Amino acid sequence: MNRDDAVALDQADPLAPLRNLFDLPEKTIYLDGNSLGALPRATAGRVAEVVTQEWGQGLIESWNTASWITLPQRVGDKIARIIGAGQGEVVVADSTSLNVYKVLASALSIAAEDSPERRIVVSERSNFPTDLYIASSLCRDRGYELVLVDSPSEIEGLLDRTAVLMLTEVNYRTGYLHDMASVTALAHERGALTVWDLCHSAGAVPVDLRGADADFAIGCGYKFLNGGPGSPAFLWVSPRHVDRFSQPLSGWMGHAAPFEMSPGYRPAEGVSRYLSGTPAVIGISALECGVDTLLAAEAHGGLQALREKSLALTRLFADLVGSRLPGFTIESPLDDARRGSQLSLSTGEGAYAIVQALIERGVVGDFRAGSPDILRFGVTPLYTRYVDIWDAVDHLVAVMDNDEWRAERFWTRGAVT
Amino acid sequence: MNRDDAVALDQADPLAPLRNLFDLPEKTIYLDGNSLGALPRATAGRVAEVVTQEWGQGLIESWNTASWITLPQRVGDKIARIIGAGQGEVVVADSTSLNVYKVLASALSIAAEDSPERRIVVSERSNFPTDLYIASSLCRDRGYELVLVDSPSEIEGLLDRTAVLMLTEVNYRTGYLHDMASVTALAHERGALTVWDLCHSAGAVPVDLRGADADFAIGCGYKFLNGGPGSPAFLWVSPRHVDRFSQPLSGWMGHAAPFEMSPGYRPAEGVSRYLSGTPAVIGISALECGVDTLLAAEAHGGLQALREKSLALTRLFADLVGSRLPGFTIESPLDDARRGSQLSLSTGEGAYAIVQALIERGVVGDFRAGSPDILRFGVTPLYTRYVDIWDAVDHLVAVMDNDEWRAERFWTRGAVT
């Protein structure tokens, strides 16, 4: 394998034209779409239209005339196509953190009725911290114990006394991909409900919530959905629970008739009761462009074709690391079936500085502190090329061979590291 | 008083140049800035810069290089100047509804420690519904009773057993303005904490949270702060409580060191612990333009000058209604000291249709269902002119005199009424 082989793979790639749907900086190899997705070409124009026309000229009437009021459901329906949910089952709202609070509270309320003797919530210590902070808060307030496992293999032994099993489908550090269908089936067989965080899987791997018979799910708008920095997030609830779930952040937009302005809360039908405050119109409009861009892949083989390319990219990355970078350990699963859309590496020392040195060379991955510290490289098959992987590894080899990473300027941490 | 007199008032108005800071539709008289503020001229360019440059070109690095990570505090510090708060005491986050949940939960936690025998939360039945929905949810979960009064005069009799008094400073329906300082003093004297909703006062009337010695406050970004549809909201906590308050929506951005990625939550110092998920960068950036536009009034007499003009506008409106529209009742206080920046009217029948007929004539107010139904007209002294008031009343007279409002097309309600 040499660089020309990588170029040839790109030339033969039927998904290659999709890269033109993004505005990417020219000299950057961007391998951080799992943290913040790139800017779709359509977004700037659409956001400008929302700001200058819909807001500036339409003003308050745009809630009706520009259909702002149904944006959470309209974009939710588009996201549904990416995560194996039905139409009318998904809404866009708030942030991942707040949505975790809502769905976990819903699941706990159902568990409290159906199996009040179950007093633990189970998650992984390696789950994304915000999920754990939120779960910890809710468990404390509701008298549950949050039990964190260090390995997925410990989960089964806890299920008989578990109220809710809360997992992130793809681990943010390692890219480990749970088998949602089998884990959910096992949880149900043993009487536990499931809450799935799709932050690193929605848009990155094919998700099939209905097929897996999951209970509740949430996910992020600004990673593989390319919704922009701090984009609103989404929620899904299984049709099985939709008639009975409640949630504590019961703001007016989740009311059955918000503009009746009645002092008593009456929840909206279905998933819309997860709405709380006034929808973030500009943010949801930007997210819609990101989701549309992903859906454009449907004409090129869809999520399955994206998944195959993603696996080919991370496999190539792993092969090149194996042959050219003996000082690095691959922290992501080598089994395709268990690997999300990223490759994570660790090394003896200097992970942070190595990431900084790569950034100076135009290769943008990121650093995640922990044991071990991680160099994280996300691939987004919509715009990542095979040659990007080849070049990124080549730069990493240079950073190491030249001891570039030891330069003092790479050791000063920014606010966001 | 005739139309020329109104034009003369505008010509003599030192605040008149501020109207040029907004992009307003040419033929509209916009009297709904209390629902959705108008578009500042600076916003479209700034939003485009955030999208195309900071996100599109800077990508993930903009969290550091464009200081996205401190946006909630930076814009919070600007809002602080409008609401009588100190620097470092305000953050921008999430929505009004979610922020009510956070501050009321904080206040209840403090009350539970300091005066556990107090078991009621007091608010007004006429408070904005979302505040009541959220309060009701929290009270149910924490074993408190939510007591709603029909008149402010009933509050005092309840204070001896009140844990938290939660009021909106300016009533959304009538524009009634509470005396925050004296109500807070009374509450404190009787042992209750106060939560103030500033949605209809921040940017509309001078607010002095520190002067009033309030406990907690939240407010809206998309009304008088002109932040755009669904703009993020803000929160403030008194320095008196800042070392001990907690909040249940404890997401990673409220952590003392989010990027340590530790599984245990450790709250950030001060008001920043009210942050939850990833900040809505585009939305907060738009809000910053709105706040900057309001702060531009500082060179023209500031909030006090805006307040005087606002009162003059609503007084003119009330005078004209009194002399020209005998079929209408003014539902807003005629006492300047008790009136916010709006004038609300009621009439025998057809309030909704009358509002629609006015909109067709280019006069945009809004309708709020209730007893009685309300025609609501907000004034924003940054861009509302005296002649706008004269013309709006003139149109309302025509709508009534011609029976225009009886036309069938005005009786069909939109999704947002």
Contact call for residues A382 and A34 (beta carbons, < 8 A): no
A146 part of contact set with chain B, CB < 8 Å: no
CA-nearest residue to B417 within chain A is A259
Looking at the predicted structure, is the pLDDT value of residue A321 above 70?
yes
Looking at the predicted structure, is the pLDDT value of residue A355 above 80?
yes
Q: If residue A41 lies in a helix (H) or strand (E), which one and from where to where?
A: none
Q: What is the CATH number of domain B46-296?
A: 3.40.640.10
Q: Return the DSSP state at A266.
A: -
How many angstroms separate the CA atoms of B274 and A338, rounded? Answer: 36
How many angstroms separate the CA atoms of B220 and B82, rounded? Answer: 13
Looking at the predicted structure, is the pLDDT value of residue B417 above 80?
no
The two beta strands, B193-197 and B216-219, are: parallel
Average pLDDT, chain B: 97
Contact call for residues B184 and B166 (beta carbons, < 8 A): no
Which member of A94, A283, A416 has the closest CB to residue B282? Answer: A283
Would you state the torsion angle of the CA atoms of residues A254, A260, A261, A267, taken in this order, to the nearest 10 degrees? -30
Residues of A in contact with B32 (CB under 8 A): 59-60
What's the rounded mean pLDDT across residues B220-227? 98
Work out the pLDDT band at A19, boundaries 50, 70, 90.
very high
Work out the pLDDT band at B85, boundaries 50, 70, 90.
very high
Q: Which of A323, A402, A415, A322 is nearest to A361 (CA)?
A: A402
Q: Which of B30, B144, B176, B222 is catalytic?
A: B222
Is B63 flagged in the annotation as binding? no
Could B263 and A35 be called an inter-chain contact, meaning their C-beta atoms sit closer than 8 Å? no
Give me the pLDDT at residue B50, please: 98
Looking at the predicted structure, is the pLDDT value of residue A417 above 70?
no
Give me the pLDDT at residue B170, please: 98
Helix segments in B234-343, DSSP class H: 281-295, 302-324
In this predicted model, what pLDDT tens digit does every residue of A222-258 receive, in sequence order?
A: 999 999 999 999 999 999 999 999 999 999 999 999 9
**Closest Cα of chain A to B264: distance in Å?**
7
The two structure tokens encoding residue B1: 């008083």
In chain A, positions 259-278, which contact chain B (CB-CB < 8 Å)? Answer: 259-265, 276-278
The burial class, CB within 10 Å (0-12 / 13-18 / 19+), for A115 is middle
CA distances from B130 to A202, A231, A263, A381, B135 (A): 31, 23, 8, 42, 8
CA distances from B52 to A38, A227, A243, A361, B49 (A): 10, 13, 43, 22, 5
The domain over range B3-30+301-411 is classified in CATH as 3.40.50.10680? no
Looking at the predicted structure, is the pLDDT value of residue A165 above 90?
yes
Domain boundaries, chain A: 3-30+302-411, 46-296
Give me the pLDDT at residue B414, please: 79
Q: Which of A103, A106, A50, A87 is nearest to A280 (CA)?
A: A50
The two structure tokens encoding residue A242: 């939709």
The two structure tokens encoding residue A323: 């042959």
The burial class, CB within 10 Å (0-12 / 13-18 / 19+), for B135 is buried
Sheet containing strand B328-330, strands side by side: B328-330, B342-347, B374-378, B366-368
Give me the pLDDT at residue B1, please: 86
Work out the pLDDT band at A10, boundaries 50, 70, 90.
very high
> Which of B64, B252, B262 would best serve as a mutation to test chain A binding (most A beta carbons within 10 A)?
B252
In chain B, positions 149-188, which contact chain A (CB-CB < 8 Å)? Answer: none
Percent of chain B with pLDDT strictly greater than 70: 100
In this predicted model, what pLDDT tens digit does every residue of A111-121 receive, in sequence order?
A: 999 999 999 99
How many angstroms separate the CA atoms of B289 and B285, rounded? Answer: 7
Planar angle of CA B252, B255, B261, nearest 5 degrees: 65
Could B101 and A249 be called an inter-chain contact, meaning their C-beta atoms sit closer than 8 Å? yes
Percent of chain B with pLDDT strictly greater than 90: 97
Could B248 and A141 be called an inter-chain contact, meaning their C-beta atoms sit closer than 8 Å? yes
Residues of B in contact with A62 (CB under 8 A): 229
String of DSSP letters for B77-121? HHHHHHHT--TTSEEEES-HHHHHHHHHHHHHHHHHHH-TT--EE
Higher-scoring residue by pLDDT: A417, A99: A99
What's the rounded mean pLDDT across residues A24-50? 97
Q: Is B219 helix (H, G, I), strand (E, B) or coil?
A: strand
CA-nearest residue to B252 within chain A is A130
Respond yes or no: is residue B30 known to be catalytic.
Answer: no
**Closest Cα of chain A to B67: distance in Å?**
9
A101 part of contact set with chain B, CB < 8 Å: yes
Looking at the predicted structure, is the pLDDT value of residue B415 above 80?
no
The domain over range A3-30+302-411 is classified in CATH as 3.90.1150.10? yes
In this predicted model, what pLDDT tens digit does every residue of A101-155 receive, in sequence order?
A: 999 999 999 999 999 999 999 999 999 999 999 999 999 999 999 999 999 999 9
How many angstroms separate the CA atoms of B169 and B124, rounded? Answer: 11
CA-nearest residue to A125 within chain B is B263
Q: Which of B19, B118, B173, B223 is catalytic?
A: B223
Catalogue the active-site residues of A.
Answer: 128, 197, 222-223, 376
Q: Which of B6, B77, B90 is nearest to B292 (CA)?
A: B77
Give me the pLDDT at residue A76, please: 98
A43 part of contact set with chain B, CB < 8 Å: yes
CA distances from A364 to A356, A388, B58, B144 (A): 8, 11, 11, 51
Which member of B59, B229, B370 has the closest CB to residue A68? Answer: B229
Could A277 and B63 be called an inter-chain contact, meaning their C-beta atoms sit closer than 8 Å? no
Give me the pLDDT at residue B57, please: 98
In this predicted model, what pLDDT tens digit does every residue of A69-104 receive, in sequence order?
A: 999 999 999 999 999 999 999 999 999 999 999 999
Which member of B59, B141, B229 has the closest CB to residue A281? Answer: B229
Q: Is A230 helix (H, G, I), strand (E, B) or coil?
A: coil
B45 part of contact set with chain A, CB < 8 Å: no
Could B62 and A229 be called an inter-chain contact, meaning their C-beta atoms sit closer than 8 Å? yes
In this predicted model, what pLDDT tens digit does every residue of A55-66 receive, in sequence order?
A: 999 999 999 999
In chain B, positions 351-380, which contact chain A (CB-CB < 8 Å)? Answer: 359, 364, 366, 368-370
